[in-house]
Amino acid sequence: MITGKNQIAGAFSGGGSHTFRTVNPVTGDENPQEFFEADQTEIDRAVNLASKAFTTYRDTSGTSRAVFLEAIATQLEAAEEEIIAYYTLESALPEGRARGEFARTTGQIRAFASMLREGSWVEAIISNLEGKLDIRRVQCPIGPVVVFGASNFPLAFSTAGGDTASALAAGCPVVVKAHPMHAATGELVAQAITNAVRETGMPEGVFSNLNGKNFEIGQRLVMHPEVKAVGFTGSINGGTALYRLACTRKEPIPVYAEMGSVNPVVVLPSALREKRDFWAEQYAGSITLGTGQFCTNPGLLLGIEGRELDSFIEALGEAIGQRQASCMLHPNIKSQYLEKRDEVLSLPDHAIVTAPEPEAEGNFALPHIIAVDAESYMKNRLYQQEVFGPFSIVVKCKNKTQLIEVLQNLEGQLTGTVLSENTSELQEFSTVINVLKERVGRLIFNGVPTGVEVCAAMVHGGPFPASTDSKFTSVGLTAVQRWVRPIAFQNWPDTLLPDALKNNNPLNIVRNLNGVMTKNAV
């Protein structure tokens, strides 16, 4: 049963005077459940209990936290059918997408559990050369973390998503600011986490879930003195606002925000000569996947002008034109999409590749592709903004030099892609590839950017404004590094050291003055 209440350290709370409802995106009608927005008292209680929980949770063993994470995954699976039902009701995303995202969510939770059992993520380093001080370093959790749920991933980037899972793995309690577009889904997921807290005996306050449609609730959470870091997935405006706010605190804290990206795709001539139709079909699918509501949606395709590029543009337009209208996540997102799209369409010097005629009704949307020359693209900054939805621009460059110039004028991106069927061509365009590499967090060869593999090597971040700190990722096992800091212990008794630094711990690493590292050397 959906209560509509906040969940604070395992207890339901609905003390606030403001309520809201979610929307069925297909019909545009409000769903029946009312949700209570968290008031200041509830915010303070959730964060203060998280701070109290941190004093014991930070010292739990990796094995204990692994058991906790595995219990969360199991509890989610026990509630899967109900979660999927509300997921599809509140997002209009199809059941197949819901099932896939659900499996991804439980999979990444269990991946962090396996990481904790293996143990080397703490990066234990011991330096005790003869005649030198005994210095031992390890990563330690930083404290309570606030996680903001994402609109476009009700599971994998929300209540029990990668930010929450990685923070709990690190030893940090979590207060989730649930996304108001899928509050019922969030409540069910939060209840599964709460059940796992009780089942495994984790400290009270290690997890809370707060509702809120008002921006002030998120701002109050970021400004709370006991909060030590923030995880955010969403718009550039939202992420940068929280980042700037966090910098104004008496104690500034990091905001790890994954934000906007147009994900440039460099289409080299050989790819068009040999696989024109294949790549046209692949990118028609990628541009329209999830109605274009992916942070890795390919919003920019770049090529060298000429007959081959013109032929590809024609094939892409035909493939896009065969796509059916699909539902966007919320009426507000549809209106924002139309507003941004029309801003771009008001600019001069572009050609329409494919456009919806007539415009899709209600909350549904059809893709829109335009083509523009590189000079016009660089002259008008509005061409370079992210349009969140099924919209993409093909930019025609005169030559390699102009292609480099376009890339040099781009902001930071989550991904960059190169399409080519010729090794010597890649050598010829090596400067182009190097410029692209400087601006992205993930460099893709002969693929599409949509679809982010959850694995140890993944980087889902990039130079600003793709993210607020390009040294970190929000996907993959190294996401845990956002919620820890290194501490060095000098000349401490072995019995008082963290387990990873003790002499009999198999994860010990000795680093000598030459930087050589060996395990089990102590």
Q: How many CB atoms lie within 10 A of CB 511?
A: 17
**Structure token digits, residue 146:** 């606030």
Q: Taking a C-beta distance cutoff of 8 angstroms, is the pair 410, 439 a contact?
A: yes
Cα separation, 233 vs 259, in Å, equals 6
The residues annotated as belonging to the active site are: 258, 295
Q: Taking a C-beta distance cutoff of 8 angstroms, is the pair 231, 243 a contact?
A: no
Instruction: Reduce the secondary structure of 248-305 to three states and give it as a string.
Output: CCCCCCCEEEECCCCCEEEECHHHHHHHHHHHHHHHHHHHHHHHHCCCCCCCEEEEEC
Query: Which residue type sits at 195?
Result: N
What is the greatest pairwise CA distance in the chain? 80
Cα separation, 450 vs 261, in Å, equals 12
For strands 35-36 and 125-127, give the pairing. Answer: unpaired
Cα separation, 236 vs 259, in Å, equals 5
Question: CA 327 from chain center: how many Å?
Answer: 22
